[in-house]
Structure 1
Amino acid sequence: MSRPTSTVVMGHHTPDVYGSDLQLLESVSALVDAGHRVVVTLPGEGPLTPLLRERGAEIRTIEVPVLRKSALTPFGLIGLAAQMLRRLPAMVRLLRRERAAAVYVNTVTVPLWLVAARIARRPVLCHVHEAQDAGPRLLRAALAAPLLLADRVLVNSLASRRALADALPRAVRHATVVYNGVCGPPADEPADEPAGGSEARSGQGSPADRIVMVGRLSPRKGTDVLVAALARLVGEGRDVALDLAGTAFPGYEWFEEELRTRAAADDLRGRVVFHGYLNPVWDLLAAGAVVVVPSRLEPFGNTAVEAQLAGRPVVVAGVQGLTEIVTDGETGLVVPPEDDAALAAAIGRVLDDPALAVRLAAAGRRSAQERFGTAAYRARIRAEITGLLDR
């Protein structure tokens, strides 16, 4: 006997399409395929909206306060608390109006959904895509505290679980690790074999080796470290260029300005292309001789998996979830975080050794297909929601 259709309301914080947003799409597909009605709440229209509708979700627009590190000041917290008090009644009404059987909070940056679910007496799951393991422990504990309201907690890596356990051990008492499920390129066909030297060409037709990075323009993503590494490579006499795909979070426009100012300097002028937001990213990845993920913090690292699935050699910083994706020397190269000299050396090593590039790309693709497929991910999400509804 099949389970009657249940409504699952999913609280999300942005209409953009980056790592956690892609996982939201996979979670929606998992629940829709299981026969559930899925209602996703967003703060407004954006690139994610049509993709959610294609997957079978209904969209409700509601402004919900987002907990960002930049707001963690005395005045910022007072303003955030005021916003929460204003928004909470509307969120509870939405859950009751939609007859939600369960609430799925996608990231702990929208903790007010956990409060709303409790007030509306709905079982609630929080899917954690963050791994804040730096900074004062008291602050990290405060950021993790809303998870105590969740009936179930999913984390996207062992690193995320360790970070939560270090900040607030009780927050992981119901935590389960579910690795992200990442889609590959269309028809699951890899790009051409990576080529070094003059064989790697850019979209502008120059002979430069293209280095690619996809991700938010933010300090935690280490974009500035990669730009510094690019400068080192240029200083060595290499003809290299950098493609950056991504935008800055509101409040971090200053960081993008710093990057653009550095890229406009004499040594790098014309070598850094700011593509802004791109979706899909497969053409950009295919144009790259090497894909780099230089993050200072990275709970998982969808872009590293996407690069592997696209058949590109990857170089990553040895932090958190990235070390669970890439094995140094086997499925990519791993360098110390915030070390632009080591990063430049690793990139140069890939560019100088075509055989190494091909070997890393092939092994990385096999690993990504085996470990981070969407079918296994969807099955885990269905099982978690079934368990939540059975409470």
Structure 2
Amino acid sequence: MTGTAGVEGSVLIAHPGAELYGSDLVLLETVSALVGSGMRVTVALPVLGSLVEELSRRGAQIELCPTPVLRKSILRPLGALCFLRDTLRGVVAGLRLLRRVRPTVVYVNTVTVPLWVLLGRAAQVPVIAHVHEAERSAAGLVRWALAAPLLLCDTVVSNSQYCVDVLSESFPRLRTLATVVRNPIGWPGQTEYARAELVGRLQLLYVGRLSERKGVDTAVLALAAYRSAGQDAELHLVGDIFPGYEWYLDHLRELVRAEGLSDHVHFHGYQRDVWPFLARSDIVLVPSVLEEGFGNTAVEGALAARPVVVSDTSGLSEATAGFASAVRVSPGASDAVARALSRIVADWPHYRLAAGTDQFLARDRHSLAGYRSSIRDTVLAAARSPDGTARRAVAVTGRAAPARSVHGGVAHG
């Protein structure tokens, strides 16, 4: 075990996937905070992926454990049947894992794995939920169903005030359970400032999941509109689709061909290190058409000292509050994005200078040290009994088997 001596406790973290996007990267910092505090951290994943190696490197034990994950597919008959099957398997596997690990705290990362809230409560273990999502546009019943399990939690950690506001619209009591901890966002440590003069093609960058809700097609259409006015630019897309959404990638490629942009839109796929792409960019686009719980990529743009054109909605507005170099536009309005680009280019010295200043505000808000301290304190508080002593691990039923220690590998729960 690494970290501070004298801190007792075991944390079981439930996470819905194994990629390396927004909530996955936040999870890595959560693990670092807890391992660094001397706690034993086990992460339960339903699938294997690139996240596993990073978790192991930070000192977590990995358990492969079937878990039902809330996706839009459950609205279809086949998807609903698969969800029911995964729930039944997840209950059995989850209870078995809880008996073996005997955590002092269950930490549920995202609202998409609500079964773990119920399992933690059944085990009489304190439960913390970390919310990254805000679905205000969803039907009221859907929002209610997503928020209801959180009422069983001891603490709800949210990455934005916007998330808290959306949750409390369904259940006002959640406002008293919630605490806002801004996402940690690391940066390379040395800023490569934007070029002083925009000679040649304007370099536009989109970073993130390639999905309809993220508005990637809006970015493509904005490029077309910008070029139609006689201005030159190219767009770099850094990210990939979610498995099962290959149709959207086909749609994007067809849209690029239809708009005559094959030589001006570049698909780079998923990239673990996005900072070289940010360093080569002039302006970052964050064109989401639906609500976002927060806006990591907008903050990354600020940390890279780049102006950002961002949808003026939800957590994105909160993420870019106070950034003088951020230009906000209506969601889905490609013409408005194109006009914002022209505005920034026309006053480039101002926006370049403002972006250079905004990076310091972004660093202060999203420091790794501040995040780790907040998460550590939240988990340690939950791990202690009302009298202030450390809680003893509770077995679910029967005699608990000793937890297996897995270093650099994966156990199957």
Q: TM-score, normalised by structure 2?
A: 0.88
CA contact (8 A) 1:194 1:290 kept: no
Of 242, 257, 261 in structure 2, the residue corresponding to residue 268 of structure 1 is: 261
Q: State the 1:266 CA deviation.
A: 5.0
CA contact (8 A) 1:211 1:240 kept: yes
Task: Provide the residue aligned with 1:386 in structure 2.
Answer: 380
Distance 2:371 2:323 in 1: 27
Task: Provide the residue aligned with 2:397 in structure 1.
Answer: none
CA contact (8 A) 2:323 2:358 kept: no
Where does 1:235-314 land on structure 2 (aligned, <5 Å)?
Answer: 235-265=228-258, 267-296=260-289, 297-314=291-308
Of 88, 112, 127 in structure 2, the residue corresponding to residue 109 of structure 1 is: 112
Give the letter for the 1:239 counterpart. D
Where does 1:88-237 land on structure 2 (aligned, <5 Å)?
Answer: 88-185=91-188, 188-195=189-196, 197-198=198-199, 207-237=200-230
Per-residue deviation, residues 264-314 of structure 1 (Å, max 9, x unmatched): 225212211111111110001111110111112211111111111112111
CA contact (8 A) 1:327 1:334 kept: no
Moved more, 168-177 or 27-36: 168-177
SS in 1 for 2:129: strand
Higher relative contact order (CA 8 A, sep 6+): 2
Distance 2:28 2:109 in 1: 11
Q: State the 1:129 CA deviation.
A: 0.2
Q: State the 1:3 CA deviation.
A: 4.4
Per-residue deviation, residues 323-375 of structure 1 (Å, max 9, x unmatched): 11224771411111111111111122223332123123112201101111111
Structure 1 segments unaligned to the other structure (5+ residues):
199-206
Distance 1:331 1:180 in 2: 20
- Cα gap change, 1:150/1:192 in structure 2, threshold over 3 Å: closer, same or farther? same
Where does 1:23-62 land on structure 2 (aligned, <5 Å)?
Answer: 23-62=26-65
Distance 1:213 1:274 in 2: 10
Give the letter for the 1:58 counterpart. Q
Distance 1:261 1:180 in 2: 35
Distance 1:29 1:304 in 2: 24
Give the letter for the 2:23 counterpart. S
- Cα gap change, 1:123/1:328 in structure 2, threshold over 3 Å: closer, same or farther? closer
For the aligned residue pairs, the C-alpha RMSD in angstroms reads 1.8
Structure 2 segments unaligned to the other structure (5+ residues):
386-413
Give the letter for the 1:177 counterpart. V
Moved more, 307-316 or 248-257: 248-257
SS in 2 for 1:40: strand
**Matching of residue 325 in structure 1 with residue 319 in structure 2:** yes
Distance 2:373 2:260 in 1: 50
CA contact (8 A) 1:189 1:310 kept: no
Distance 1:229 1:61 in 2: 42
Q: State the 1:155 CA deviation.
A: 0.7
Of 10, 18, 21 in structure 1, the residue corresponding to residue 21 of structure 2 is: 18
Distance 1:144 1:70 in 2: 19
Task: Provide the residue aligned with 1:202 in structure 2.
Answer: none
Count of residue pairs brought into register by the alignment: 381
Distance 2:147 2:38 in 1: 32
Distance 1:145 1:310 in 2: 38
**Matching of residue 359 in structure 1 with residue 353 in structure 2:** yes
CA contact (8 A) 2:5 2:38 kept: no
Q: State the 1:221 CA deviation.
A: 0.9
Q: State the 1:75 CA deviation.
A: 4.8
Distance 1:234 1:387 in 2: 55
Q: State the 1:44 CA deviation.
A: 3.0
CA contact (8 A) 2:13 2:44 kept: yes
CA contact (8 A) 1:194 1:288 kept: no
SS in 2 for 1:242: strand
Q: State the 1:226 CA deviation.
A: 1.0
- Cα gap change, 1:196/1:81 in structure 2, threshold over 3 Å: closer, same or farther? farther
Distance 2:302 2:378 in 1: 28
Per-residue deviation, residues 131-162 of structure 1 (Å, max 9, x unmatched): 11002211211121121221111111011111
Distance 2:92 2:360 in 1: 48
- Cα gap change, 1:55/1:380 in structure 2, threshold over 3 Å: closer, same or farther? same
Aligned-pair identity in percent equals 43
Distance 2:47 2:86 in 1: 17
CA contact (8 A) 2:95 2:119 kept: yes
Distance 1:370 1:328 in 2: 12
Give the letter for the 1:190 counterpart. T
SS in 1 for 2:314: coil
